[in-house]
Structure 1
């Protein structure tokens, strides 16, 4: 066992994605040697392309003792800076905003389990819970990275990295079949050149929007927000994409999550004007450590809606009155 980032142990272990329980057991031998091997129970929590996540604890132990072992997906390092992710977890844990990191290993990390439930389309609209989310986001946005002098939005660099990995076309016939347009909104393949052009157009619009650059989560989907009822708190998880970005990016992204995902999106569930205003006032009160002025609320409304990336809202960003048409 070696010492990794800021004293966090690093294990020279590579976990096989096809046998995560065996790999997780090896991790636990190093960080929880007191646990009886035969008593440990494993539960696969996520099995996606980006990560595999397994919860581990002795059968009779409290849920709060659970250790989470996350195995990185194959080639995800092309999209995600894993060193930066570890730095983020340590930075935010020191600020009381992220769970303890127990160890890193060759293709993953082990960290503390936060008991609770991920948000869903109902809980995200609960006034008590959405105000907790707003406050938590404001605290995150006030975090400062030591030694960071020039702050710039990382959005465009990340989008470009994704685009660079997109092939002009698939040579493999099976991949062509799987990626053939099937959604009712997309009957033809959109050329990569057109995507690049649209990104440039959006960038031109957003770079003219007045919005502070803050340390942002950048992936606040509902599954990355944990509500713990016992102490009435929320915790953000998965800091793979956390870095400096537009303040309004996290807000606009989170509001967009109200409508669902994929083919199940229901735009009637987008937060109504009253909810947005209450959410934003709660956020700004925490962010400024005082009640916001009406002008400060209006000033954050426009960029938050612009970063929703709905055509009508992007056009609204070019208008002179930021609060005139953007809340609905």
Structure 2
């Protein structure tokens, strides 16, 4: 997408926030000189690269380009924006994420990291998978100024379920009605209680969790220093949560390709879900980074933990897809995605109980 297809509203928002928070030469250029292009990867938020004109040289160590993140409707509730802003600022201060330049209730400008987001094949790579496990262990060890109660999962699903039920009760255009009728037949409110009952039977430590560790949220540059090669971004869903959710959610991302060039702009390959041995390799790297003892008993418990909480990942993002279809103008097959996630949920549910 080029500059001409970006809405005037978002271009003006980008210009204003860069002018006000960056200052310096950013405050001297006109809106006509201000450059903005889209950045791929955002499914909840819209991402743009904002840049100075070629003939303007930055000074005082100011960057030539920054990333503008315009929050999607699902992420603009006051409490969500506040928590996301606090966490991003802390991660920036700890040098565990991109530098923060400024934020409002509508958007944020942050460091444009000269690294590429991983793709699905990358997170399946054994070496990179172990690095992701080590990075996840580091984040799980952080003590963040948030409520330590694991309210994110049930609270978010309960909140989204209310909104989804309202959507399902509405009339829809023919292209959507087939999906909606299928979702109604699932009796989702009852199924959510079934899911909660399943999760309550599995022990999982409560840790500071990312909750959306998919390939597009992991930046990588082989030329950087060892401890800076991999950067995890996009913390809008982070909270204290059950560790198993981060494991199961990440493993499911092995099966989705979000770079598919035509509608629905993703493809699902459930056969790529990591095997027990691949998951054990991930767990070993995680435990080594955490300084914890590795035993067969621990690995079996983590396997059960991850693959049970993967059910919650399917269910949560299926609800998200229904909401996004109703709220977002991002070009993506949200209802097709929900259908695939619900199908994955019911298929995985049939395999329970997972062997210890």
TM-score tier by shorter-chain length is: 0.7 to 0.9
Query: Corresponding residue for 2:177?
Result: 180
Report 1:116-131 matches (<5 A). Answer: 116-131=115-130
Query: Corresponding residue for 2:304?
Result: 302
Query: Corresponding residue for 2:282?
Result: 279
TM-score (norm 1): 0.80
Does 2:271 align with 1:268?
A: yes
Deviation string 1:98-123 (CA, Å, 9 cap, x unpaired) is 22221112411111122211111221
Q: Distance in 1 between matches of 2:202 and 2:349?
A: 10
Report 1:78-157 matches (<5 A). Answer: 78=77, 81-146=80-145, 148=147, 150-157=148-155
Q: Distance in 2 between matches of 1:49 and 1:281?
A: 31
Q: Distance in 2 between matches of 1:47 and 1:145?
A: 27
Which segment is superposed worse, 303-312 or 244-253?
303-312
Structure 1 residues 112 and 316, CA, compared in 2 at 3 Å: closer, same or farther? same
Structure 1 residues 80 and 118, CA, compared in 2 at 3 Å: closer, same or farther? farther
Cα offset, 1:18, TM superposition? 4.1
Unaligned runs of 5+ in 1: 1-15, 323-328
Unaligned runs of 5+ in 2: 1-5, 258-263, 312-344
Query: Corresponding residue for 1:200?
Result: 193
Structure 1 residues 217 and 210, CA, compared in 2 at 3 Å: closer, same or farther? same
Structure 1 residues 86 and 296, CA, compared in 2 at 3 Å: closer, same or farther? same
Query: Corresponding residue for 1:56?
Result: 50
Match of 2:234 among 220, 235, 238: 238
Query: Corresponding residue for 2:246?
Result: 250
Does 2:186 align with 1:190?
A: no
Q: Distance in 1 between matches of 2:252 and 2:302?
A: 16
Query: Corresponding residue for 2:338?
Result: none
Higher strand share: 1
Deviation string 1:168-215 (CA, Å, 9 cap, x unpaired) is 64545xx33242225xxx9x4332881011110011011110110111
* Count of residues in correspondence between the two structures: 298
Higher helix share: 2
Structure 1 residues 17 and 209, CA, compared in 2 at 3 Å: closer, same or farther? farther
RMSD: 3.0
Cα offset, 1:251, TM superposition? 1.0
Structure 1 residues 292 and 255, CA, compared in 2 at 3 Å: closer, same or farther? same
Match of 2:24 among 21, 34, 51: 34
